[in-house]
Amino acid sequence: MAFGGAQASYINPVVPFTGMIQGGLQDGHKITIIGAVLPSGGNRFAVNLQTGYNDSDIAFHFNPRFEEGGYVVCNTKQRGSWGTEERKMHMPFQRGCSFELCFQVQSSEFRVMVNGNLFTQYAHRVPFHRIDAISITGVVQLSSISFQPPGIWPANSAPIAQTFVHTIHSAPGQMFPNPVIPPAVYPNPVYQLPFFTSILGGLYPSKSILVSGTILPSAQRCGSCVKGTASRWPWTVSTCLNTTTA
Ligand code: GAL
């Protein structure tokens, strides 16, 4: 399926990673990072929205630190010098757990969403149109980095709504304990395809994932796939639904 104007996602990028943001950032741009924090190997990771491959001009440094109870540093680096830190003394990530981290560019600030919740806002200190690269370093493993420029949706398609429902049951004699994760429903956002996301809390017996959407009249096939990260899970489950066309 072709999409007009949207940059292709980076899939399974190896950290440390630096990649270009085609056309630079614009008001309304969204960058979504799916990954997991490694259980060990360091205390920090960082996402830098910067100018070029050189890290001397970083418009937005987002830096979770698993130190002193956990906090997140936000800052800007200009011509090699850091500015004043903005610290949020709360840690929305967990070691060993997957996450969805989304940066939304707005005219006056970045909005940072973690697992669907607004975590923080960071007022622009330098013009965001200077940003044309993203770099990610530290104690994370990444599944994808995807880009949604303002006003770009899949060509000739209806919006696709996706809802996640986590159900928690305890069953006698169950092989695996279910993690304590409250049921979560993500409110009807619109996603571009192909769409990648993490499964909060991972898969376990009784977990349900409900994906709802609209099959395009021109579709010949569509499908969904649940995959484990290769190094951690030896299996893949996939489903495919074929539709016939007249
Ligand atoms: C420094 C650290 C940098 C960056 C900066 C942000 O202490 O070495 O990597 O995180 O803080 O203010």
Residue whose CA is at the smallest distance from ligand 1 atom 6: 75
Spacing, Cα 246 to ligand 1 middle (Å):
60
pLDDT per residue as tens digits for the range 113-170: 999 999 999 999 999 999 999 999 999 999 999 999 887 554 433 344 333 333 333 3
**Nearest-atom index, ligand 1, CA of 46:** 10
Ligand 1 binding site (Cβ under 6 Å of any ligand atom) = 61, 63, 73, 75, 82, 85
Verify that 99 and 181 share a domain, yes or no: no
CA of residue 219 to ligand 1 center, whole Å: 49
Question: Is the CB of residue 73 less than 8 Å from the CB of residue 109?
Answer: no
Shared domain check, 159 and 109: no
CB 163 within 8 A of CB 211: yes
Q: What is the pTM of this model?
A: 0.67
Same domain, 157 and 246: yes
What distance in angstroms lies between residue 232's CA and the mean position of ligand 1's atoms? 31
Domain count, the chain: 2
Task: Tell me which residue range forms the domain holding 100.
Answer: 10-148
Q: pLDDT tens digit string along 184-196? A: 444 445 555 666 6
- Residue of 57, 59, 48, 62 whose CA lies nearest to 16: 48
Q: Are residues 89 and 157 in the same domain?
A: no
